[in-house]
């Protein structure tokens, strides 16, 4: 009995170890199978949903917008030609007057003091002593210095007429852009409120502003009495114009933090996108000119979902 008991005691540990080993093997097999299934799910989920676009050829015009202020470049000063009293005024501020229109009547100081006495003594003596002051140019009366009954001296200013023919917009042009503006060039002006008018470069001021280094440019427009002085408009100046320029939406072009490198994500097959460095040209609105490389019409460029994608990223095209 003692001998049989010894054999059973020796076999029991070995049997226990074998059961544990089989159990661990079964559990390990099940875990491995589960991991494989997770890898498959990750591979499917790794496809980033994106939308794509293609290269397009169109005309691109690069504009710069500058301020232009309306102004009367020439002002005419209406002056008294004698010492006397203003007996009649035919002008008021803002009035448009024609050349030769009588604006003031002035009675001389001598006529005012002796005229009635002389006429009473001799009815045949005709002495009025009145002078008529006329407008020398067409324009608006922008300043009125004297009213009825005022005493004025010879050469004293009575009013200011802004010469309508001298009306223009003065645009302040940075001097480095001087090469982009030519005399006789057409310019579109946008007034406050959105109204657009066409102008033409008439001349250039002979000096630049010391602080801003801008040069005044005179833009003439068609005669329009409704535009007041000192109105600020927006002038569009063409910097660059290109025909048949290859371009992409701005959202398709990616860059680094310092904006020294640019690239796009291009599909090489239905599910793989690669990083392609590009050289940009001009930007107009939401379009960017692509100078290099030369993409074909069939190339598909990612336009959304491209941010943060690595080279050879797995993607899924969605509508």
Mean pLDDT of the chain: 84
Instruction: Tell me the residue length of the chain.
Output: 319
Q: What's the CATH number where 235 sits?
A: 2.40.30.170
pLDDT value at residue 311: 92
Please indicate, yes or no, whether residues 255 and 311 belong to a single structural domain of this protein: yes
Question: Range of 211's domain?
Answer: 64-71+166-242
- Last residue in a domain, options 209, 224, 242: 242
Between CA 25 and CA 33 the distance in angstroms is 12
Between CA 305 and CA 291 the distance in angstroms is 24
Residue 98 lies in a domain: yes
| pTM exceeds 0.85 | no
pLDDT value at residue 4: 47
Q: Categorize the per-residue pLDDT at 237 as very low, low, confident or very high, splitting at 50, 70 and 90.
A: confident
* Residue written as token pair 């946008």: 190
108-112, 178-182, 310-314: lowest mean pLDDT where?
108-112
- DSSP 8-class letter at 161: E
The DSSP result for 134-148, as a single string, is E-SSSEEEEEE---T
Q: Which residue has the higher pLDDT, 45 or 107?
A: 107
CB atoms within 10 A of CB 141: 19
Contact 57, 246 (CB under 8 A): yes
Contact 290, 249 (CB under 8 A): no
Q: Categorize the per-residue pLDDT at 1 as very low, low, confident or very high, splitting at 50, 70 and 90.
A: very low
Q: By CB neighbour count within 10 A (0-12 exposed, 13-18 middle, 19+ buried), where does 49 fall?
A: exposed
Q: What's the CATH number where 252 sits?
A: 2.40.420.20
Strand partners, 313: 273
Q: Give the closest residue to 223 by CA, choosing from 277, 164, 152.
A: 164
Query: What are phi and psi for residue 217, nearest 5 degrees?
Result: -120, 130
Q: By CB neighbour count within 10 A (0-12 exposed, 13-18 middle, 19+ buried), where does 262 fall?
A: middle
Contact 275, 258 (CB under 8 A): no
Please indicate, yes or no, whether residues 175 and 236 belong to a single structural domain of this protein: yes
- Last residue in a domain, options 242, 257, 274: 242
Q: Quick check: bond before 293 cis, omega within 30? A: yes
What's the whole-number mean pLDDT along residues 207-225?
91
**pLDDT at position 292 over 90:** yes
Quick one: how far is CA 198 from the chain centroid? 17
Rg of the chain over all Cα atoms, to the nearest angstrom: 44
Please indicate, yes or no, whether residues 218 and 271 belong to a single structural domain of this protein: no
- Last residue in a domain, options 200, 224, 242: 242
**pLDDT at position 53 over 50:** yes
Residue 218 lies in a domain: yes
């Amino acid at each position: 009995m003692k001998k049989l008991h010894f054999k059973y005691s020796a076999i029991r540990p070995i049997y226990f170890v074998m059961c544990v080993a089989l159990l661990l093997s079964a559990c390990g097999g099940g875990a491995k199978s589960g991991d494989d299934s997770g890898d498959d799910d990750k591979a499917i989920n790794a496809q980033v949903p994106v939308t794509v676009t293609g290269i397009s050829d169109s005309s691109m015009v690069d504009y710069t917008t500058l301020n232009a202020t309306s102004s009367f470049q020439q002002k005419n000063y209406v002056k008294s030609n004698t010492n006397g009293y203003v007996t009649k005024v035919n002008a008021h501020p803002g009035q448009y007057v024609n050349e030769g229109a009588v604006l003031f009547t002035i009675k001389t100081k001598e006529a005012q003091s002796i005229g009635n006495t002389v006429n009473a003594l001799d009815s045949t003596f005709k002495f009025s002593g009145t002078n008529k002051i006329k407008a020398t140019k067409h324009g608006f009366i922008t300043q009125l210095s004297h009213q009825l009954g005022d005493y004025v001296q010879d050469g004293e200013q009575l009013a200011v007429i802004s010469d309508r023919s001298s009306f223009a917009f003065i645009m302040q042009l940075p001097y480095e852009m001087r090469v982009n503006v030519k005399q006789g060039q057409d310019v579109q002006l946008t007034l406050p409120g959105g109204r657009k008018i066409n102008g033409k470069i008439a001349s250039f001021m002979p000096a630049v502003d010391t602080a801003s280094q801008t040069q005044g440019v005179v833009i003439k427009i068609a005669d329009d009495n409704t535009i007041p002085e000192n109105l600020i408009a927006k002038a569009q100046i063409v910097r660059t114009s290109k025909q048949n320029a290859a371009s992409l939406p701005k959202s398709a072009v990616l860059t680094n933090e310092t904006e020294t490198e640019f690239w796009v994500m291009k599909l090489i097959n239905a599910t793989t996108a690669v990083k392609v460095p590009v050289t940009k040209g001009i930007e107009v609105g939401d379009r960017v000119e692509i100078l290099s490389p030369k993409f074909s019409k069939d190339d598909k460029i990612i336009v959304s979902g491209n941010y943060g994608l690595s080279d050879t990223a797995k993607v899924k095209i969605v509508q």
